[in-house]
Amino acid sequence: MKVDVNPICSSVEKKVASESPDSNWARLPQELLLHIFQYLPLLDRAYASQVCRGWNQAFHMPELWRCFEFELNQPASSYLKATHPDLIKQIIKRHSNHLQYVSFKVDSSTESAEAACDILSQLVNCSLKTLGLISTARPSFMEVPKSHFISALTVVFVNSKSLSSLKIDDTPVDDPSLKVLVANNSDTLKLLKMSSCPHVSPAGILCVADQCHGLRELALNYHLLSDELLLALSSEKHVHLEHLRIDVVSENPGQHFHTIKKSSWDAMVRHSPKFNLVMYFFLYEDEFGPFFIEEIPVTHLYFGRSVSKEVLGRVGLHCPRLVELVVCANGLRPLDEELIRIAKHCTQLSAIGLGECEVSCSAFVEFVKMCGRRLSQLSIMEEVLIPDHKYTLDEIHWEVSKHLGRVWFPDMMPTW
C-alpha cells in the first residue's frame, strides 16, 4: 500500500515550523507512520510501538497485518526455527480479521501440519485473498487425519468468500471441500495449485472449472485432466487461461495413462492463444505410449526420468509451441537427429537442458546454428557432448558461442 507522502510532508513541515522541536515526533500523522512502519521489519516495528500510544495505535493498524507467513517447525525434524506460539496467539486475537495474504510453511512432522490446521480453524473472521499451504520437506499435511484437515480448510473457504489464490499441493483436499470452495469463492478464484492431491477426482476439478470462470492459473496431476475439463476452461464464459501445469507421475511401473483428444487441446488454444502449458513427466520409459502421438500445445516440457530417443523424436514432430525442453536423462545413443528435428519444428524454442544424454559435437553445433540467438538458456552437461571428426571439446564452445552471440560453456560437475 503506497501512500503519497508529499501532501503529508508539506503539512508536517508547516506544523514543524510552528511548534517546538520536542513534540514533532508524537504529532506525525498516522498515514505517514504507517508508510514508515511498512519499511521496518516486524521486530523493529514492535519496538517502535512501545514509544508512545500514538505509535502503538499505528502499529496495530490493519494495513500492517495484511500479510503473514506462519513457519511451523519442530526441532526434531527441522533446522529452522518456528514462529513463536505466543506471537501466533496474539495475531489471531488482535489481527485475524486483518489478514489477507497468508501462507503456512511446515516441515516434515505431522505436528507442524496439525498446528497449521489449528490456526486455520481459528481464522473465522478473516477474509483471505491468498492462502498457501507449503511443505518444505516431506508432505506432512498428508499425515494429518483427513477430517481434521478438511474441516480446517473449509473454515477458510466458507469465511473468506474472496479467495483469489489458493495453493494446496500435497494435501488431502477432496471433492466435497472443492465444492465448498466453489460455492463461496467462484467469482474471485484466479489461481489454484493442487498438484499431488490424491483424494480429488476429475469430477471434482471439473466442478471448479465449470464455476470459477476467472480461473487463470491451474496446476494439477494428469489423472485429473479430462477432455471435459479442457472444454470447460475454453468455454465462452471463461477468461483466458494463462498457465496450466500438469504433472504426469507414475508411482509404479506399468501404469496406464488415458489420452486427451487433440480437439480438446485445439479448443484451449483457440480460446487462450497465449496460454502456457507446462508438463512435468516422471514416467518409466515404456509408459509414454499415449503421449506425443498427436499435436499438443505444450510450451514447457520436463522429463524427470529417462525418456527414449523415440519419444524425443515424437516431441520434435508434435510440439510446435515448445519454448523450453529439459531432458534429465536419455541413455547412451546419440540424440543427433532428434535435436535437429526439434530445432526445425519448434521455432519458439528458447531454452534447452540436457542431462545424462549424448549428442555428437557436429549435430550440437548444427542444432545451435539452426536455433540461433533465440536460445537464451542452453544448459548442457559437459559429458553430453561427444567429440567427433569435426569438433573437439575445446573447439565446440567457441563455435556455439559464435552462433549464440554470447560466451557459452557447458555445465560441469566436479569429476576427475
Q: Which of residues 373-402 bind another protein (CB under 8 A)?
A: 376-377, 379, 381, 383, 387, 393-394
Positions 69 through 88 that interact with another protein (CB under 8 A): 71, 75-84, 86-87
Angle at 339 between CA 334 and CA 341, to 5 degrees: 125
Whole-angstrom distance, CA of residue 200 vs CA of residue 115: 23
- Judged by CB under 8 A, the residue of 154, 156, 233, 247 near another protein is 247
Positions 310 through 329 that interact with another protein (CB under 8 A): 323-324, 326, 328-329
Residue with Cβ nearer another protein (316 or 353): 353
- Do 245 and 278 meet the contact criterion of CB atoms below 8 Å apart? yes
Residue 111 has φ and ψ, to the nearest 5°, of: -50, -45
The residues near 59 (Cβ < 8 Å, ≥ 6 apart) are: 37, 45, 46, 48, 49
Residue with Cβ nearer another protein (67 or 393): 393
Residue with Cβ nearer another protein (13 or 395): 395
Nearest distance from residue 243's CB to another protein, in Å? 7
Burial of 84 (0-12, 13-18, 19+ CB in 10 A): exposed
Query: E strands within 147-293?
Result: 165-167, 191-193, 217-221, 243-249, 276-282
- Judged by CB under 8 A, the residue of 300, 314, 321, 403 near another protein is 300
Residue with Cβ nearer another protein (1 or 43): 43
- Judged by CB under 8 A, the residue of 66, 227, 331, 390 near another protein is 331
- Do 277 and 241 meet the contact criterion of CB atoms below 8 Å apart? no
User: Does residue 368 interact with another protein by CB under 8 A?
Assistant: no
User: Does residue 249 interact with another protein by CB under 8 A?
Assistant: yes
Alpha carbon separation from 278 to 17, 135, 219, 353, 379 (Å, rounded)? 60, 21, 9, 15, 19
Nearest 10 degrees: Cα torsion 21, 26, 32, 34: 150
User: Does residue 409 interact with another protein by CB under 8 A?
Assistant: yes
Whole-angstrom distance, CA of residue 326 vs CA of residue 351: 8
* Amino acid of residue 243: H
Positions 117 through 176 that interact with another protein (CB under 8 A): 136-139, 169-170
- Judged by CB under 8 A, the residue of 27, 94, 373, 402 near another protein is 94
Whole-angstrom distance, CA of residue 357 vs CA of residue 33: 58
Residue with Cβ nearer another protein (17 or 413): 413
User: Does residue 356 interact with another protein by CB under 8 A?
Assistant: yes
Nearest distance from residue 309's CB to another protein, in Å? 14
Residue 71 has φ and ψ, to the nearest 5°, of: -105, 115
User: Does residue 270 interact with another protein by CB under 8 A?
Assistant: no
Give the binding range for another protein (CB under 8 A) out of 24-32, 144-152, 258-266, 408-416. Answer: 408-416
Nearest distance from residue 164's CB to another protein, in Å? 18
Give the binding range for another protein (CB under 8 A) out of 2-10, 150-158, 258-266, 295-303. Answer: 295-303
Positions 197 through 236 that interact with another protein (CB under 8 A): none
